[in-house]
Structure 1
Amino acid sequence: MLDDNSGAAGADAIPAPGVLTVDLGAIRANYTRLREIAGSPVGAVVKANAYGLGAERISKALFDEGCRNFFVAHLGEALSLRSNLPEDATLYVLNGLLPGGEGVCAEAGIVPVLNSFEQIDAWAETAKGLGRNLPAVLQFDTGMSRLGIAPEERALAAERLRSAPIDIAFVMSHLASADEPSDAQNASQAAEMVQAAAAFGTENICFANSGGIFLGANFRGALARTGIALYGGATQNGGESPLRHAVELTLAVIQTRTVETGARIGYGGTHVAARPMRLATLAAGYADGLPRSLSDRGAVYCDGIRLPIVGRVSMDSMVVDISALAEGRLVLGSHVELLGSHQSMDDLARDAGTISYEILTGLGSRFARIYR
């Protein structure tokens, strides 16, 4: 077990308000399983600090598992990882390059995903200035209306790139509705992707995201890319993840108390005790990425028992009802489960009215982090 910062008190340790445990073995196992399902190479999406879990640790573990393609959103993220990975790892910048980033990107050997004619032209000028061809990925918009060359511009893009000193590794697009397998947009985008690749004269397609890997061979292409599935998140709305959960989070108790019937709990007194209750105040809140929308909706667990959140989630704390536990079971410094065997990131996201991506990427820096 690799321990960045222990959550337990010790001679040299400062107790943390919670302990976030990242199971690198589970992430490696998930990657291998996804590669088996895809039947083709799979790249890892480690943008936003690997969804908030630690890009350096996770990318190194995935490299050791055989991953050679890594996707981030911004050039700065790629530069931070470049020295962390061996030279035969390829880093792709999904958002492409903002003006002024072309030179450092080329020098670092990072591959931009070109999303517009402006980016194509700037990358071509950089290549001419260096006197050599530069690699890139070309993204097409197949129906998401977010990034990529528009359908009516495909032929022009192909023509422009024929004379440009750019080597296109893949053509790419992004699925908008892969988490809804029955959504007709998936088939529509797949058909558009085929046309885009044909216009460019290539079969090197990078198309499937985590959900797309499970949609079938028509979506996987030459390189799939997976993010949330690596970390154990569900790939279909309303479904359970077929992969191993890789994240646990426990929160520390900072006070317990008993309140009488009629006691008002939390900001605004929005929760009024309908009976005598035993409460525990936990040392984390929305400043730690725990959504305020969990107020009077979410829960934590102890000994498999659901302990509902009562009242509003505060910036640095929240209150839970511990009446179902034996008296004295929780004391100052005890920990309860927010994410773990009894509650997945998708369960928590559902209670918060959001998605697992937002839960993971929002987890704060005040938690102790343990990698095992």
Structure 2
Amino acid sequence: MKSPARPLRARIHLDAVLHNYRYAKRLAPSARALAVVKANGYGHGAISLARALASEADGFAVACIDEAMELRESGIRNPILLLEGVFAPDEIALADRAGLAMVVHSRQQLEWVLAARPSRPLECWIKLDSGMHRVGLAPGEFAGAHAALADCPHVGNLVAMSHFARADEPEHPYTERQIAVFGQALGGLRIPRSLANSAAILAWPQAHGEWTRPGLMLYGISPLPDGHPLATPLQPAMTLESAILSIRDLEAGEPVGYGGRFVCDRPTRVGVAAVGYADGYPRHARDGTPVAVKGRRTRIIGRVSMDMITLDLTGMADARIGDPVELWGTTIPANEVAQASDTIAYQLFTGIGRRVPLIHEGLQTQWK
């Protein structure tokens, strides 16, 4: 007889993803939008997301050619941009065959493109370092790189792009400085522009340009400080859920979990849920990190283990083994869990372990 499956799963709400993409488009109605689905769609399942968005998405953005080929091999025909460009000159031939656009962020990549012999004109996004100081051409290099690519017979469409370092801080002047550096570097060039990540789509309309790049907001999480009104319409795209597998009552003074970090300060009802750091739940979640049992908020008590966490069920006399536990989703915002664990929602999502099944719901019925 087959034993019951472990109850942990990540439910992916494809309707929410489509809603969030449409919202990004409404905020920047004059721009086209690349849905950023790198890192397996931020842990949500890139192929399923791309299929759900394919009929509406202006294109997709991924980090590298392996991620792009996965989409192409699954039947995605929308434009795809390689955000990190190519890592070796022989990847240009692959990009050519698959019809991929590529970022050019260094002199070396520029030389590879100019020396290539593609079968069709290559689309290149020239990346300027406007102040992030990670990758990108220096402002003084931009005009020369643009001229070289514009004069190259096997290069087609060109887009100018950059990336913000502090767009998630709406009151900080650094984003305005980056916008100014970008504009000065481009001068009077008539070229499509792409600056806006999720935070800039929400908070910096002057940076929308001709192409936006919604990433985190696509998954229903705001990159802006709590309570920002423009983030309110976003819908969480993932519900990570499990179930209670054990309940016990402890007296005041009894420790819970490894190292006895939590000590009961009163008679405490303790539940155990089937999830741990091997599944991607943050090991450094503090006592008090929020969690929901049957839709009611409570807290984690004790250290996170590899496969289990311990919950405070005091005051939940009706809680039973098998009751649903939401780790994050519609009741418990992922940002709250991230803040209580000294991390960010990006890491929560992309850290989901391989033994956690992704259950895609909603729009997938249209393409199954």
**What is the TM-score normalised by the length of structure 2?**
0.91
Letter paired with 1:19: R
Q: Is the aligned partner of 1:33 residue 2:35? A: no
Which residue of 220, 224, 237 maps to 1:236?
Answer: 224
Q: Unaligned stretches of 5+ in structure 1?
A: 1-10
2:176 is equivalent to residue 184 of structure 1: no
Give yes or no for contact 1:172–1:205 (8 Å, CA) kept in 2: yes
Distance 1:149 1:176 in 2: 16
Residues 17 and 366 of structure 1 are in contact (CA less than 8 Å); yes or no, is this contact kept in structure 2? Answer: no
Q: Aligned to 1:27, what secondary structure does the other structure show?
A: helix
SS across alignment from 1:315: coil
What residue is the counterpart of 2:207 in the other structure?
Answer: 219
Contact 1:197 1:205 in 2 (8 A): no
SS for the counterpart of 1:207 is strand
- C-alpha distance in 1, partners of 2:314/2:52? 42
Within the alignment, does 1:69 sit opposite 2:78 as a pair? no
**Alignment correspondent of 2:365:** none
2:42 matches 1:54: no
Deviations 1:182-225 (A, max 9, x none): 111111111122223336x2330011111111234420011111
The answer for the alignment partner of 2:196 in structure 1 is 208
1:248 corresponds, among 213, 229, 239, to 239
Q: Which of 325, 338, 358 is the equivalent residue of 1:336?
A: 325
Amino acid at match of 1:204: P
Which amino acid in the other structure matches residue 137 of structure 1? W
Partner letter of residue 297 of structure 1? G
Q: After superposition, give the CA deviation of every residue in 1:241-274 in whole Å (9 maximum; x if it has no partner).
A: 3212222121222211122222221111111222
1:299–1:320 CA contact under 8 A, matched in 2: no
Alignment length, in residue pairs?
355
Q: Distance in 2 between matches of 1:282 and 1:290?
A: 12
| Aligned residues of 1:16 and 1:367 also touching (Cα < 8 A) | no
2:338/2:344 contact within 8 Å kept: yes
2:96–2:120: 8 Å Cα contact kept in structure 1?
no
Greater shift after overlay, 254-263 or 23-32? 254-263
2:280 to 273, 281, 289: 289
Matched, 1:371 2:360: yes
**1:190 partner SS:** helix
**C-alpha distance in structure 1 between counterparts of 2:120 and 2:47, whole Å:** 30
Partner residue, 1:80: 70
Query: What are the equivalent positions in structure 2 for 1:320-359 lying under 5 Å apart?
Result: 320-327=311-318, 329-331=319-321, 333-359=322-348
Q: Report the equivalent of 2:309.
A: 318
Q: Deviations over 1:66-89 (max 9, x none)?
A: 1121000111100111123443x1
Paired residues of 2:293 and 2:323 also in contact (CA < 8 A): no
Instruction: Work out whether residues 253 and 283 of structure 1, in 8 Å CA contact, stay in contact via their aligned partners in 2.
Output: yes
Matched-pair identity in %: 33
Q: Determine helix, strand or coil for the equivalent of 2:196.
A: coil
Once the two structures are TM-superposed, the CA of residue 13 in structure 1 deviates from its matched residue by 8.4
What RMSD over aligned residues (CA atoms) do the two structures have, in Å?
Answer: 1.9
Secondary structure of 1:248's counterpart equals strand
Against the structure 1 CA distance between its residues 107 and 131, is the aligned structure 2 distance closer, same or farther, given a 3 Å change threshold?
closer
> 1:293 is paired with a residue of what secondary structure?
coil
Give 1:16's aligned amino acid: R
Displacement of 1:322 in angstroms is 0.8
Equivalent residue, structure 2, for 1:141 = 129
Q: Relative to structure 1, is the Cα distance of residues 67 and 256 closer, same or farther in structure 2, using a 3 angstrom cutoff?
A: same
CA 284–303 in structure 1, closer or farther in 2 if over 3 Å, else same: closer
Question: Residue type of the partner of 1:318?
Answer: I
